[in-house]
Amino acid sequence: MSGEQELGITESKEHSTGEWYAEVVQKAELADYAPMGGFIVTRPRGYAVWERIQDHLDGWFKDTGVDNAYFPMFIPESYLEREKDIVEGFDPEVAWVTHGGYEELEERLAVRPTSESIITPFIADWVRSHRDLPMRLNQWCSVVRWEATETKPFFRTKEFLWQEGHTAHADEDGAWDETMTRLDQYERLYEDVMAMPALKGRKPEHDKFPGAHTTTTIETLMPDGKSVQAATSHYLGTSFAEAFDITYADEDEEEQTAHTTSWGLSWRSMGALIMLHSDDQGLVLPPTLAPTQVVIVPIWQEDNKDEVLEYAADAAAELDEAGIRVNLDDRDNRNPGFKYNEWELKGVPLRVEVGPNEVEDDELTLVHRPDGENSVESRDDIAATVSEHLDTVYAKLYASAEETLEGEIREADSREEILGTIGQHGGYVKSGWCGDEDCEEPIKDALAAEIVMVPLDRGEEPIHDDCAICGDEAEETAYWAKTY
C-alpha cells in the first residue's frame, strides 16, 4: 500500500496549485529538476508530448511555405548590438561565453535569447530581388534567458525549447498576412490539438516584442483564473530590415526595404496543457498528444489467465494495427487497481478492462480518464469504437476548458472595480484604457495583474468612453488578468 501512496498525487489542484503542478510533472514522469537552478531535464514521456506538438505545427508550417533551417546557438556581441531594441530588451537576461578553453575570446558570444540578430543578416544576404520573396525560415531549438526566478517546469526555466519563425516580405500586406497566418495556426493548435479554447489579441504598445511594430498573442485561461501567453506572432515592420539591411530590387529594379515577421511557440504551451486539464489523480492529456492513448488492463485468476491474456493481446494487436497508440499492461507483479492508478497518474486517456466476463460475452469495458465514465462495448470493430471514444474524451476536455473560460470575461469601469473583480474571481476584466502605460501601474502594484491584450483590430471602438484608471478618453479596450 505504501507504494501506491508514493505513486499518487498528494497535493490539491484547487488549494495548492503550484505544488500540485510540480508534483504532477514529476510523478507523471514528464520532467525532473536539473542540478543547476532554473533548468529541467525533459523525460521521455514529456518529450513525446512536445514531439507531437512539433509534428502538428511543423506540418502546417511546411504546408504554408516555411522551410526549416538551423543557426548557431552563439551570437557575436556586435551582431546583437545591431538592433538596439533587442539589446535593451534582452540584455539583463543574456548568458555570455567569454572563454573558449583557456583562451579569452576577442569578442563575447551571447547564448541566443532569440535569433533575430543571427538569422536576419543571412536573410539580408540571401535576398537579392523580389523573386526571392517571401522568404520563410523556421528553426526548432532552445534559447536561454537568465531570469532569476523560481523554476517552474515548462513555465519558467532559463533554457527552454521552442520554434522561432523568421520571414521577409516585399511589403506590409505580405508581412501582415504572414503574422496572421501563424497566429491562426497557433490558435488551431490550441483548439484542435490541445483541447484549449484560446483568445487572440494584440499586446499593448509598451509590452510589444522589442523592436516590433505589432505583437499579436494567443492567451489561454488557467483554472486558477490566471492567463497564459500561449504563443506570439510579431509584425516587425522595417526596423529589423533597416538594421540588418534587407533590401531587394523590385520589378522596376528600384531598391526597396523588406518587411519582416517573427513568431514563436515554446514548451510553455505544454505547461498550460498540463495545468489546465490535469486533476488530483494526476496528468490528463488529450488523445491527440498522449504518448499512450489506450492502456489495456487484463484481470485474471489463475484458472482463466491464459484465455484472458490471449483475448487482451488480440485486442491490443488490432488497435495497434489501426494506428492507435496502445499498451497492454500484462505485468504479473502488479494488481489491476495499482495499474489503474498508475495509468491515471500518467494521463492515458482511455483504459480498456478485460476480465473473464468480457471474454465470455465478446466485449470490452472502456473507461474515460477525465471523468471515469465507463461503458461496455462489443469486441467487433473495436478499433472504430475506440477511436470514437477517444474523440469523445477530446470533446469532454474541450467542453470543460470552455466552461473554465466562459463567464470569466467581465467588465469594469473603475480602478476599484478592476481590482475587486480580478481579486474576487480572477479571469479577464475588460475596461476602457487611454493607452498610457502609467495607468497599468496601480493595478500591477496592487494585484500583480496587467493588461494581457487589447483587441486585434486597431479600429475597434473601446467598450467604454473613458479610461477606467485616469478618466481620460479611452483609446482601446484593455483585457486585464493575472498571468503566469
Q: Give the binding site for Zn ion (CB under 5 A).
A: 434, 436, 439, 467, 469-470
Q: Quick one: 95 or 470, whose CB is closer to Zn ion? A: 470
Q: Which amino acid is at 384?
A: A
What's the start-to-end Cα distance of the chain, in Å? 37
Q: How far is the CB of 346 from Zn ion (least distance, A)?
A: 49
The three-point CA angle 95-91-233 to 5° equals 100
Residue 378, judged by CB atoms within 10 A of its CB (0-12, 13-18, 19+), counts as: exposed
The three-point CA angle 146-152-154 to 5° equals 85
In sequence order, the 6+-apart residues with CB closer than 8 A to the CB of 416 are none
Q: Quick one: 439 or 463, whose CB is closer to Zn ion? A: 439
What gap in Å lies between CA 446 and CA 311, rounded to an integer? 62
Q: How far is the CB of 470 from Zn ion (least distance, A)?
A: 3
Read off the C-alpha cell for 226: 490566471
Q: How far is the CB of 466 from Zn ion (least distance, A)?
A: 8
- Element at 314 (helix H, strand E): helix 305-321
Write phi, then psi, for 175 (nearest 5 degrees): -70, -35
Q: Quick one: 313 or 470, whose CB is closer to Zn ion? A: 470
Q: Quick one: 336 or 442, whose CB is closer to Zn ion? A: 442
Read off the C-alpha cell for 379: 469486441
Find the DSSP H helices in 64-171: 77-80, 84-90, 116-126
Q: How far is the CB of 436 from Zn ion (least distance, A)?
A: 5
What gap in Å lies between CA 176 and CA 197, rounded to an integer? 24
Q: How far is the CB of 18 from Zn ion (least distance, A)?
A: 33
What gap in Å lies between CA 90 and CA 344, rounded to an integer? 41
Q: How far is the CB of 221 from Zn ion (least distance, A)?
A: 25
Q: Quick one: 76 or 471, whose CB is closer to Zn ion? A: 471
In sequence order, the 6+-apart residues with CB closer than 8 A to the CB of 217 are 200, 201, 202, 203, 229, 230, 231, 232, 233, 452, 453
Q: How far is the CB of 477 from Zn ion (least distance, A)?
A: 13
- Element at 272 (helix H, strand E): helix 268-277
**Contact 214/208 with Cβ under 8 angstroms?**
yes
Q: How far is the CB of 418 from Zn ion (least distance, A)?
A: 12
Q: How far is the CB of 76 from Zn ion (least distance, A)?
A: 42
Q: Quick one: 54 or 414, whose CB is closer to Zn ion? A: 414
Q: Quick one: 230 or 434, whose CB is closer to Zn ion? A: 434
Closest CA to 24 of 269, 275, 292, 397: 275
- Element at 100 (helix H, strand E): strand 96-100
Q: How far is the CB of 475 from Zn ion (least distance, A)?
A: 9
State yes or no: cis peptide before 92, omega within 30 of 0: no
Q: How far is the CB of 450 from Zn ion (least distance, A)?
A: 14
Q: Quick one: 397 or 439, whose CB is closer to Zn ion? A: 439
Q: Quick one: 393 or 468, whose CB is closer to Zn ion? A: 468
Read off the C-alpha cell for 59: 506540418
Q: Quick one: 456 or 470, whose CB is closer to Zn ion? A: 470
Write phi, then psi, for 47 (nearest 5 degrees): -65, -35
Q: Quick one: 20 or 479, whose CB is closer to Zn ion? A: 479
Q: How far is the CB of 446 from Zn ion (least distance, A)?
A: 16
For every residue of 37-51, DSSP letters joined together read TT-EEE-HHHHHHHH
Closest CA to 354 of 377, 385, 333, 338: 377
Q: Quick one: 138 or 477, whose CB is closer to Zn ion? A: 477
Name the DSSP letter for residue 131. Answer: G
